[in-house]
Amino acid sequence: LTGVSREQRAFQYLLAHAIPGDPRHVLQTFDQWCYRREHLSSVGPVKGRIVERLLYERAPLRVLELGTYCGYGTVLLAQGLPAGARLYTVEADPRHAAVAEKVIRLAGFQEQTVELIVGRSEEVIPRLREQHGLPKADFVFMDHRKRCYLRDLQLLESHRLLAEGATVLADNVLFPGAPRFLQYAKTCGKYRCKVHRASLEY
């Protein structure tokens, strides 16, 4: 009725309650909004702990996120990066990207650490090396349209954008589900697969 989107309302709540430059507090404030006010399809704190653990174990220097949405996952990833690492995040919807940009900067991450790329993943991936300077990704987090998971994984392979031993973490592969992606990852012989059991966000 107000003409203000859910995502914009969430950001206004962050502005009023989150501590600027404190990524952990930004995420906690986001969680408060989603638990108490309106649901947003962000990673959330339960699955967020899986992401944090894997980042800590892998310590990747080049991270690619497909599906920025409001920037929750981006902030989660960025706060877990080792010194000198860089995160590239891709969002197809310009309205969501506009919110995410403000969330990322509110959390204290500058362009040198987190680059937000607006565009469809199938168009952005082939340009990542030449236009954005990503030689190879050590860690990929997929949280965009589930039907795009397999196509985009194969695009990353064909453009040789996955580093040796890279980790590919894909959200919601069981529900709503990405069966073709899961089948390929398990049977193509290129990956060792593990399914992390978790509840839906919030």
Residues with a known catalytic role: 143, 146, 171-172, 201
Residue 44 covered by a domain: yes
Phi, psi of 151 (to 5 degrees): -55, -45
pLDDT digits (tens, 9 = 90+) for 26-56: 999 999 999 999 989 899 999 999 999 999 9
Residue 128 covered by a domain: yes
Residue 198 covered by a domain: no
> pTM for this structure?
0.95
Instruction: Write the single-letter amino acid at 48.
Output: G
Q: Between these two residues, 4 and 16, which has the higher pLDDT value? A: 16
pLDDT of residue 112: 94
Residue 83 covered by a domain: yes
Domain count, the chain: 1
Helices first, then strands: H and E counts in the chain: 9, 5
Residue 162 covered by a domain: yes
Helices (H), 107-199: 121-124, 128-132, 149-158, 179-187
pLDDT digits (tens, 9 = 90+) for 154-182: 999 999 999 999 999 999 999 889 999 99
C-alpha distances out from residue 79 to 25, 113, 198, Å = 11, 10, 22
pLDDT digits (tens, 9 = 90+) for 65-99: 999 999 999 999 999 999 999 999 999 999 999 99
Residue 151 covered by a domain: yes
pLDDT of residue 194: 95
Phi, psi of 116 (to 5 degrees): -95, 125
* pLDDT exceeds cutoff 90 at 1: no
pLDDT of residue 156: 98
Q: Which CATH number does the domain housing residue 117 bear? A: 3.40.50.150
Helices (H), the chain: 6-17, 23-36, 44-58, 72-79, 94-106, 121-124, 128-132, 149-158, 179-187
pLDDT digits (tens, 9 = 90+) for 107-148: 999 999 999 999 999 999 999 999 999 999 999 999 999 999
Domain that holds residue 20: 6-188
Residue 61 covered by a domain: yes
Give the residue among 144, 161, 157 at the shortest CA–CA distance from 184: 157
Three-state DSSP class for residue 42: coil
C-alpha distances out from residue 47 to 53, 84, 97, 196, Å = 10, 25, 22, 9
- Rounded to the nearest 10 degrees, the angle between the axes of helix 6-17 and helix 94-106 is 10
Residue 195 covered by a domain: no
